[in-house]
Amino acid sequence: MCNIEKLTTESINEATRNIDRLESLDIVTLINNEDKKVAEAIEKVLPQIAEAVESIVERFKKGGRIIYCGAGSSGRMGTLDAVELTPTYSVSPTRAFGLLAGGDEAMYTAVEGAEDSEELAVEDLKRVKLTADDCVIGIAASGRTPYTKAALEFGKQTGAFTISVTCNQDSAMAKIADISIAPVVGPEVINGSTRMKAGTAQKMVVNMLSTGAMIRLGKVFRNYMVHVQPTNEKLVKRAVKMIIELTGAKEELALKVLYEADKDVAAAIVMIECSCSKDQAREALLESGGQVREAIAAVKNGV
């Protein structure tokens, strides 16, 4: 068994030894100073993150899925990232999701012992019928959580692409995964409270992985999330604003075409830019894999 005292994330932070004697402003200033170190740690692993993005895109294009696996705060981080891909980029929840040690209940309450079960990880991945086209992203600050480690091992056995996101170098998970992403953020403000700097680092990494993949998959036009699902008044207004800014259309026309396109923002943009029908726009988007720039060029060129 790993000696956790040797893990960077479990070591003592000398800068915060007397934090319990400080006033509130001094406490939050110390926390903020430590948080500044997270972005610097992420910067050192950008090549690995970029490599992982490309691998995710490759598998996703084949019909594979993005599957986050983890326990506790780490597992919740992955699940939250996956959930947001549906409203933001219209990714089906069957194509990107999280597996959390202890199941759905563990999202809201601690499920004792779940993270120590290797068998549970294998059962969870078998239940979702893991394939060689999938990407398994294991998240654990320590890099040694049995549930997450077993998920990566089973992923490798299945032929899935495996990515470990940890905050300790040379971890057990890093040795298993095809790509190891390990921003070393150092000891926590509160000893062992890895929901803090480690959690922030994990959030930044999974955001980069999913956002980078969505951009490479054509879910973004310029820097707009044109595949957003306008499911409420705020999002309809945001969609109209996007259409106006990207096409130069007047608000009345942008709103009208958005509804003609059944609230498909990407299709509405193509319709306005190319003065074409909804069917033409959707066919062009289908042929281009959802990439608005390519769809516009195809319609304009009569392809």
Q: What is the pLDDT of residues 34-43, one digit of tens each?
A: 999 999 999 9
SS3 for the chain is CCCHHHCHHHCCCHHHCCHHHCCHHHHHHHHHHHHHHHHHHHHCCHHHHHHHHHHHHHHHHCCCCEEEEECHHHHHHHHHHHHHHHHHHCCCCCCEEEEECCCHHHHCCCCCCHHHCHHHHHHHHHHCCCCCCCEEEEECCCCCCHHHHHHHHHHHHHCCEEEEECCCCCCHHHHHCCEEECCCCCCCCCCCCCCCHHHHHHHHHHHHHHHHHHHHCCCCECCECCCCCCCCHHHHHHHHHHHHHHHCCCHHHHHHHHHHCCCCHHHHHHHHHHCCCHHHHHHHHHHCCCCHHHHHHHHHCCC
Domains and CATH numbers, the chain: 4-216 (3.40.50.10490), 233-300 (1.10.8.1080)
Q: What pTM was estimated for this model as a whole?
A: 0.92
Q: Write out the two tokens for 58.
A: 């490759």
- Give the pLDDT confidence score for residue 5 in this predicted structure: 58
**Average pLDDT of every residue of the chain:** 94
- Give the pLDDT confidence score for residue 169 in this predicted structure: 87
**The pLDDT of residue 2 is above 80:** no
Cα–Cα distance between 165 and 162 in angstroms, integer? Answer: 10
Annotated catalytic residues are 84, 115
Residue that wins the pLDDT comparison between 184 and 104: 184
**The pLDDT of residue 263 is above 50:** yes
Mean pLDDT of 197-218: 97
Q: Write out the two tokens for 237.
A: 């207004």
Q: What is the pLDDT of residues 243-262, one digit of tens each?
A: 999 999 999 999 999 999 99
Residue that wins the pLDDT comparison between 113 and 100: 100
- Give the pLDDT confidence score for residue 189 in this predicted structure: 95
Q: What is the pLDDT of residues 131-168, one digit of tens each?
A: 999 999 999 999 999 999 999 999 999 999 999 999 99
Mean pLDDT of 164-175: 94
Q: How confident is the model at residue 8 (pLDDT cuts 50, 70, 90)?
A: confident
Q: What is the pLDDT of residues 24-73, one digit of tens each?
A: 999 999 999 999 999 999 999 999 999 999 999 999 999 999 999 999 99
- Give the pLDDT confidence score for residue 104 in this predicted structure: 87
- Give the pLDDT confidence score for residue 1 in this predicted structure: 44
Q: Write out the two tokens for 298.
A: 């195809």
- Give the pLDDT confidence score for residue 133 in this predicted structure: 97
